[in-house]
């Protein structure tokens, strides 16, 4: 077990900067997720932690040990790959034993560890199969088992769930979380799936273009995004974005959207300004409801209703732009209805349209 510290870690390939001065400390036993779209640098960061890539600048520490220049096999880590990377010429048992043999762990000791991991992951009946003879879910469990038996100080996972079908993915992520918590091992997880990141992590690091955007606990990142990118990337369906003008007045913010004036509590802002400021108003579909149209409320026309079970999404057209809200599926408006739109007003986020940062 060890903490992992990245100190101004940068990586560039020629002129292309894949990581720019990444700075974070992952606590002992913490589950941290690197989240972002493809090309954001999350996998490069993981490869640097693993020792598969060497940073062009900065340091990586495991505990107090500087591992920046060490080979992967000198770092005492284990990794689960997106394609699992099971050795096709070895059986499940040999796959799990391989790492222990490389570390010169005794035969009986290794056998016991493998038996225990097989027990925990329900692989006992598969030990003599080759990877080609396993289903996708079984392969995934073997990959996790291979990493677990190593008893590593840091556990790395590179999108390990993305090749599973939806139902299995949900079940497996619970399993991974349970394992990590009970083993108490430090884990770094890479994904582009924000829901996975929310469910699994102690903390999430949202990345974009090689730059860390926000690092925080899942609900903090969800409720209090630092910028437009984080706001739009976390949460599904994505946050609605409307063009607006905002003015500070006493302890309230007056926002003008689509010809209507709305009054929001000042707690939605993080800065202050003089006069009227152009802004982008962000509100999550789950914080936006429908009501009877009133002269003082923001109105729109319903053009699609999508029931998902516990609630229904309503697509509403305002001046040619689409926004999404939610409603009770049993009391959904009809398509073509003109309706009023209600917000949970302290859940609104305001962004500067130029800098994309929270106002």
Partner 1 sequence: MRPEISRTSGTLERAAPAPKRWHLPAAFVPAALVTPGLLAVLLVIGIPLGYSFFVSLNRTNVLTHRWHFVGLANYAAALTDPDFFAAFERTILFAGGAVLAGLVIGIGMALVLNARIPGRGFMRGLVLIPWAMSPIAVGILWSWIFNGEYGPLDGILLDLGVIHHSIYWLGGGTSAFILVALVYVWNQAPLTCLLVLGGLQSMPENLHKAARVDGAGPWRRFWRITLPWLRPTLLLVLILTTINAIMAFDLFWIITQGGPGDSTTVISWLGYVQAFQYFQFGQGAAILYLLTLLCLVLAIAYFLLLLAPERRRMKRVQAAQRAEAAPLAASLRVRTPPPIAIRFPPSAARPVPRGGGEAWGQTATRIAALLMLLWSALPVLWLLLMSLSPSAELIRSPPHLIPDHLTLENYRAILFPRVSGAASVEARRVPYAIWNSLIVSTFVTVINVVLGSLAGYGFAIAGRGLRVSLWALMLTRMIPSLVLILPFYIIFRAAGLLDTRTGLVLAYCSLILPLSIWIMKGYLEGIPATLEQAARMDGCTRLQAIRKVVLPVARPGIIATAIFCFLVSWNEFVIALILTSTPASQTIPVTIAGFLAQLQFYDYGPMFAASVLAVVPPVLVTLFFQRALVTGMTSGSVKG
Applying the rule CB under 8 A, the residues between 106 and 145 that interact with partner 1 are 106, 109, 113, 119-120, 122
* Binding footprint of partner 1, residue count (CB under 8 A): 57
- Classify burial at 71, counting beta carbons within 10 Å of its beta carbon; exposed 0-12, middle 13-18, buried 19 or more: exposed
Buried b vs exposed e over 127-159: b needs ≥16 C-beta within 10 Å? beebbeebeebbbbbbbbbbbbbbbbbbbbbbb
Q: Is 325 in the site for partner 1 (CB under 8 A)?
A: no
Is 61:5 a contact under the CB 8 Å cutoff?
Answer: yes
Peptide bond just before 237 cis, omega within 30 deg: yes
In the complex, minimum distance from the CB of residue 52 to partner 1, in angstroms, rounded to a whole number: 5
Q: Is 189 in the site for partner 1 (CB under 8 A)?
A: no
Token code pair at residue 292: 């009877």
Q: Is 353 in the site for partner 1 (CB under 8 A)?
A: yes
Specify the stretch interacting with partner 1 by CB under 8 A; choose among 83-91, 188-196, 211-219, 288-296: 83-91
Q: Left (φ > 0), alpha (ψ -120 to 50) or beta: where does 28 sit?
A: beta
238, 252, 299, 305: residue in contact with partner 1 (rule CB under 8 A): 238
Is 191:159 a contact under the CB 8 Å cutoff?
Answer: yes
Q: Is 19 in the site for partner 1 (CB under 8 A)?
A: no
Residue with tokens 């809200």: 325
Listing from the earlier edge strand, what are the strands of the sheet with 4-13? 16-26, 4-13, 57-62, 65-66
Applying the rule CB under 8 A, the residues between 23 and 62 that interact with partner 1 are 50-52, 54
Nearer to partner 1, 159 or 196 (CB): 159
In the complex, minimum distance from the CB of residue 249 to partner 1, in angstroms, rounded to a whole number: 25
36, 55, 99, 145: residue in contact with partner 1 (rule CB under 8 A): 99
In the complex, minimum distance from the CB of residue 252 to partner 1, in angstroms, rounded to a whole number: 25
Residues that bind partner 1 (CB under 8 A): 1, 50-52, 54, 71-73, 77-79, 81-83, 85-89, 98-100, 102-106, 109, 113, 119-120, 122, 146, 150-151, 179, 182-184, 228-229, 232, 238-239, 241-243, 280, 303, 317, 320-323, 351, 353, 356
């Amino acid at each position: 077990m060890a903490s992992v510290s990245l100190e101004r870690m940068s990586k560039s390939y020629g002129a292309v900067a894949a990581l720019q001065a990444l700075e974070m400390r992952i606590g002992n036993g913490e589950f941290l997720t690197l989240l972002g779209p493809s090309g954001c640098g999350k996998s490069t960061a993981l490869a640097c932690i693993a020792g598969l890539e060497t940073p062009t600048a900065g340091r990586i520490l495991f505990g107090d040990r500087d591992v920046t220049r060490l080979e992967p096999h000198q770092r005492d880590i284990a990794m689960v790959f997106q394609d699992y990377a099971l050795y096709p010429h070895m059986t499940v048992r040999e796959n799990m034993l391989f790492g222990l043999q490389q570390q010169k762990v005794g035969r009986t000791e290794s056998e016991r560890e493998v038996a225990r991991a097989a027990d925990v992951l329900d692989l006992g009946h598969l030990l003599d199969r080759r990877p080609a003879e396993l289903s996708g879910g079984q392969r995934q469990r073997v990959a996790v088992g291979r990493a677990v038996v190593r008893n590593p100080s840091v556990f790395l996972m590179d999108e390990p769930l993305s090749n599973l079908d939806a139902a299995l993915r949900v079940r497996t992520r619970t399993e991974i979380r349970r394992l990590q918590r009970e083993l108490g091992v430090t884990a770094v997880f890479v994904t582009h799936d924000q829901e996975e990141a929310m469910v699994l992590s102690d903390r999430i690091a949202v990345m974009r273009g090689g730059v860390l955007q926000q690092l925080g606990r899942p609900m903090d990142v969800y409720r209090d995004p630092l910028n437009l990118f984080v706001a739009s990337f976390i949460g599904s369906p994505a946050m609605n974005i409307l063009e607006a003008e905002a003015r500070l007045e006493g302890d309230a913010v007056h926002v003008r959207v689509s010809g209507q004036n709305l009054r929001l509590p000042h707690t939605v802002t993080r800065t202050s300004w003089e006069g009227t400021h152009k802004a982008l108003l962000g509100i999550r579909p789950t914080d936006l409801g429908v009501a009877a149209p009133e002269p003082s409320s923001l109105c729109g026309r319903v053009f699609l209703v999508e029931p998902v079970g516990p609630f229904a999404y309503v697509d509403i057209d305002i001046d040619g732009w689409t926004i999404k809200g939610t409603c009770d599926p049993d009391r959904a408006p009809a398509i073509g209805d003109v309706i009023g739109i209600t917000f949970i007003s302290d859940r609104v986020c305001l962004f500067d349209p130029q800098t994309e940062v929270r106002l």
